[in-house]
Amino acid sequence: MGNPVCIDTDIIIDHLRGRFPGAKIFARVVTEDVPYTTSITRFELFCGANNTREKEIIEECLLGFKILPFDESSSNEAARIYRYLKQKGELIGMRDILISGIAMAYKLIIATNNIKEFRRIKGLSLWRE
């Protein structure tokens, strides 16, 4: 198996909706790498679930993923990222900062279509084909 990769919310949503390029990235990561995601992504996905069936689909989609918590190390990283981006005047969404903090604390690559936002974070590894 390949590298441990943290799949961001947008990639999972693309997979669930059959949209490219996210669906292709999702398929590649889950078959060739080691898929992770975060408790923040799980939260975002379930916020969008409108009924029991959609919740079941999300649960099935996340089978085999290691769901990483927002813990002490992650919160330290996220706070560092927040301060860095704020100082530069380049803040991104708070949930993306939390996801990045988790990925950096666990030394994971992030697979996302949201390159514009995530590339602002110094030291964060982004997945590339």
C-alpha distances out from residue 88 to 84, 105, 122, 124, Å: 6, 22, 11, 16
pTM of the model: 0.93
State yes or no: pLDDT of 129 exceeds 90.
no
What is the mean pLDDT of the segment spanning 8-32? 95
Quote the CATH superfamily of domain 4-118. 5'-nuclease (3.40.50.1010)
Which 3 state secondary structure label does DSSP give 65? Answer: coil
Per residue in 99-110, pLDDT (tens digit) is 999 999 999 999
Query: What is the structure's pLDDT at 128?
Result: 79
Model confidence band, residue 1 (pLDDT cutoffs 50, 70, 90)? low
Q: Cα–Cα distance between 110 and 72 in angstroms, integer?
A: 20
Per residue in 42-80, pLDDT (tens digit) is 999 999 999 999 999 999 999 999 999 999 999 999 999
State yes or no: pLDDT of 96 exceeds 90.
yes
User: Phi, psi (5° rounding) for residue 36?
Assistant: -125, 160
Average pLDDT across the chain, whole number: 95
Domain boundaries, the chain: 4-118
